[in-house]
Amino acid sequence: MDSRVFWLRIKTHGWVYSFSIAATLALGILIGTVVSYGVKGKEGQKSSDATPLTVPSPKLLSNTFSQIAKQLGPSVVNINTESTIKNPHRRRGQQGPDDDENGGNGGMDDFFNRFFGGQGGGQGQGGPNGDAGIRERSLGSGVVVDPKGYIVTNRHVVDKADRIRVRLQDDPPGIQHDAKVVGEDQETDLAVIKIDMDRSVPSAKLGNSDSMQVGDWVLAIGSPFGQVGTVTAGIVSAKGRDIVPGRQFQTFIQTDAAINPGNSGGPLVNMDGEVIGINTAILSETNAYAGVGFSLPSNTVVQVYNQLIGPEHRVSRGSIGIEFSPQPAPAIARVYGVNSGVTISAVVAGSPADQAGLKVGDTITNVDGRDVKNGDELVGEIASRKPGSKAKLGFVRNGKKQETTVAVADRAKLFAARLGEDQENGDESTPKQSKFGATVRSLTPEMAERLDITAGKGVIVQDVKVGSFAEDIGLGRGDVVLEINKQPVNSEDDFAKVESSLKSGQDVVFLVRPRGSSRQDGTVFLAGTLP
């Protein structure tokens, strides 16, 4: 090694940089001392006439982003959860939480994790009491909306967690605060948690998401991959996105601000420093940022939050007990002779719609004089009303306009079986777990095609309760149930009918297409004795 290079290494306190003589000459300032050599180059030219480089004084450029980051940063929290998986085995063809690195199963990229899950995290063996199982850790984000310690996040961040801990950005390393769940809403994937503090906690202000326009600047703040306090910038790419066909109460703000696993539950912020969305999902072939992220609008968040902090800690939505095609179908409109509205495909027996005389084939055109053009508008009108209230419906039957008044019922009670809930002792605020402990939904044609399932066959598992019979036998979220005890199951009603007919002590055999498997992979039996 050249002696002059070695001397430079000593003077810089052991910095291990292997500089050539020419590179050493280019470093004009080291530890406040200008190092100058009068060494000749190849052609004999001296460098003593070189002008030393200098660092200019700090200059104030556009600082809108940095001001918002400083303002909102302290209210954004990191959420760390732990849960115990009782049956950690993985069946043939079933994906695990980290299987999407190379694109998942043929581009589907794990349908449910892609939209409503997929939080990264490590795993450790053993349950909280030394029992068998896997201790799963997950990371997410949240935003404080009340100085008393109330935090909004995604339901999938805290769902089934045995322990929830929150880290504030100004906390010293290693300091976390235990949190409890105040309430959660499966329909919008939102949850409210609370930490108890002896001081006020920095909180964010929510804005009006309806005021946002496509092209507006936004910031996403959160803990992607556990990197606390990360800020990314982008624009509003689109509004009113329905990312899961047939899923109600959820339309999203699309953004190209980078959102990755760990950002879930964190805020999307406008240039006034207001939260206008909660970052919920990404659309990606790799389970990482691909320029398309989705945030639940703040106006929806406010409606859900105000009910979750109420006495019942649940969201009550109105319903009249009808079903209809989630996607507009011009053929239906032509056959039934209507240009606009929602044509009823099923009426729940004994429901308010049934009592009001509505029938299959009727097309609802307005609610209390306000036109409804599609199912989303109809659901929005009815769901926002309190159970027990009245609504006047205009509808078309056989080409003739008619009207009727219908009572609004509690949707959770009206569709208890298919929502995986039931009511105990008439108390609407106390959900009763079903016998199986699984919530299912019918497959839309789009989902059937994506999952490689014959159209009209099977139901997909939307949720599995912790400690339930379904979990014990290995039934998982995203599995497709084709039969139960040799009986075809092609709808939520089929599932509920079979479930209600079984009693404690009876054997139950599910024929299942495991999540992530293709038609070529075949099906599996999951069996057990109903407790």
Mind listing the pLDDT tens digit for each residue in 320-377? 988 887 666 677 777 777 778 888 888 888 889 999 999 988 999 999 999 988 887 8
Q: Both tokens of residue 80?
A: 């760390």
Contacts of 461 (CB under 8 A, 6+ apart): 438, 439, 440, 470, 475, 476, 477, 478, 479, 480, 481, 515
The predicted pLDDT at position 287 comes to 67
Specify the 3-state DSSP secondary structure of 421: coil
What average pLDDT does the structure give for the chain? 77
Choosing from 109, 159, 185, 189, the catalytic residue is: 189
CATH topology of domain 433-529: Pdz3 Domain (2.30.42)
pLDDT digits (tens, 9 = 90+) for 209-221: 999 999 999 999 9
Of 82-91, 331-340, 410-419, least confident by mean pLDDT is 82-91
Q: Which residues fall within 8 angstroms of residue 444, CB to CB, at 6 or more apart? A: 245, 246, 326, 327
Confidence of residue 442 (pLDDT cuts 50, 70, 90): confident
Res 204 pLDDT > 90 = yes
| Whole-number Å distance between alpha carbons of 346 and 484 | 24
Q: What is the pLDDT of residue 324?
A: 81
Q: What H or E segment, with its residue span, contains residue 334? A: helix 330-336
Using an 8 Å Cβ cutoff, are 266 and 119 in contact?
Answer: no
pLDDT over threshold 50, residue 145: yes
- Could you tell me where the DSSP H helices lie in 85-208? 111-116, 155-158
Between CA 239 and CA 247, with CA 241 as vertex, the angle to 5 degrees is: 145
Q: What is the pLDDT of residues 292-325, one digit of tens each?
A: 989 999 999 999 999 999 988 988 888 898 888 7
* 274-282/205-206 β-pairing: parallel
Work out the angle at residue 456's Cα, subtended by the Cα atoms of residues 442 and 341, and round it to the nearest 5 degrees.
65
pLDDT, position 57: 77
pLDDT tens sequence across 210-268: 999 999 999 999 988 888 889 999 999 999 887 765 556 678 999 999 888 888 999 99
Mean pLDDT, residues 409-417? 74
Residue 312 has a pLDDT of 85
8 Å CB contact between 197 and 177: yes
CATH 2.30.42.10 location in the chain: 318-412, 433-529
Query: With pLDDT > 70 as the criterion, what percentage of the chain qualifies?
Result: 72
Top pLDDT among 413 and 23 is at 413
Residues of the chain with CATH 2.40.10.120: 69-315
Residue bearing tokens 């949707």:
411
Q: Residue 131: pLDDT above 60?
A: no
Query: With 0-12 CB in 10 A as exposed, 13-18 as middle and 19+ as buried, what is 367?
Result: buried
Confidence of residue 194 (pLDDT cuts 50, 70, 90): very high
- pLDDT-based confidence at 43, cuts 50/70/90? low
Residue 22, pLDDT score:
41
The phi and psi torsions of 213 (rounded to 5 degrees) equal -120, 150
Task: Summarize the chain as % helix, strand, coil (round to 5).
Answer: 20, 30, 50
pLDDT at 157 over 50: yes
Sign of CA dihedral 249, 255, 261, 263: negative
The pLDDT value given to residue 118: 41
Average pLDDT estimate for 136-141: 77
pLDDT of residue 309: 94
In this structure, which amino acid lies at residue 253? I
Q: Is 189 a catalytic residue?
A: yes
Per-residue pLDDT at 61: 58
> What 8-state DSSP symbol labels residue 326?
S
- Which residue has tokens 């006439």? 49
The region of weakest confidence among 2-11, 245-254, 369-378, 497-506 is 2-11
Rg over CA atoms, the chain? 29
Coil, strand, or helix at residue 65? helix
Contact 278, 77 (CB under 8 A): no
SS (H, E, C) 470-504: HHHHCCCCCCEEEEECCEECCCHHHHHHHHHHCCC
Q: Is-catalytic flag, 203?
A: no
> Is residue 35 over pLDDT 60?
no
Lookup result for tokens 């105990």: 424
Q: Which fold has domain 69-315?
A: Thrombin, subunit H (2.40.10)
Mean pLDDT across the stretch 93-111? 35
5 pLDDT band, cuts 50/70/90, is: very low
Domain 318-412 part of CATH 2.70.70.10: no
User: Which of helix, strand or coil describes residue 371?
Assistant: strand
75, 83, 156, 442: the catalytic one is 156
Nearest to 251 by CA among 97, 126, 374, 414: 374
Confidence band (pLDDT; 50, 70, 90) for 94?
Answer: very low
